[in-house]
Amino acid sequence: MRSRRSVALTSKEVMMKAEEHQIGAHRIDVEGDMVICRYRGAISMEEIKLVHDVIEDVLKTQGHCYQLLDLHTVKTLEPPVRRWISQWAQTHTLEAVLGFDASSLMFVLVGLMTRAIYSLRKDKRPTVLILKSEAEARATVAELNTRRRPSNKRAS
């Protein structure tokens, strides 16, 4: 599916195994409470806002969201885009942002953006991690989801 839409998604759409959005050169996959962003090259302000529209839809329908970022081929973000993301994060809370396959430059850039977001938020959220692979990021989401759900076991 190729779309540049920013309309609200229905619960049924979000619950699909995989929903794909093509935003410019970037592919955004939605799998339940996960938004997997596969950025290719530079990301414009218009594109980053459309990506965050998708994330907002997941937040509304799921009540929480994990963002996975494939950082292998993304180019550095322009300062206005970084600033917009930091401002967006002041009013929207993700469970975690998990980057993977990052270059040294992207590792440093994500660290700087995280510090900027944390300086504006008292709760120091979301959790931000840079991991080696998508498989490791998915395993981390599974672990974090287990922690956030109350245990079904009764105390003896």
Q: What is the pLDDT of residue 9?
A: 43
Q: What is the pLDDT of residue 2?
A: 41
Q: What class is the 11-147 domain?
A: alpha beta
Domain spans, the chain: 11-147
Q: What is the pLDDT of residue 150?
A: 65
Average pLDDT, the chain: 81
Signed CA dihedral, 127, 129, 134, 140: sign only = negative
In this model, does residue 52 exceed pLDDT 80?
yes
- Please give the order of strands across the beta sheet that includes 34-41: 19-23, 26-31, 34-41, 66-74, 96-100, 127-131
- pLDDT above 90 as % of the chain: 45
The confidence band for 103, taking pLDDT boundaries of 50, 70 and 90, is confident
- Write the DSSP assignment of the chain as a string of letters: ------SPPPHHHHHSS-EEEEETTEEEEEETTEEEEEEEE---HHHHHHHHHHHHHHHHHHS--EEEEEEEEEPPPPHHHHHHHHHHHHH---SEEEEES--HHHHHHHHHHHHHHHHH-TT--SEEEEES-HHHHHHHHHHHHHHHSPP-PPP-
Most confident listed range (42-56, 73-87, 96-110) = 42-56
The confidence band for 8, taking pLDDT boundaries of 50, 70 and 90, is very low
Tell me the whole-structure pTM to 2 decimals.
0.76
Top-confidence residue, 4 or 112: 112
Top-confidence residue, 46 or 120: 46
**Both tokens of residue 14?**
């979000």
Q: What is the pLDDT of residue 4?
A: 44
Top-confidence residue, 106 or 152: 106
Residue whose structure tokens are 């490791």: 136
Other CB atoms within a 10 A radius of the CB of residue 155 amount to 4
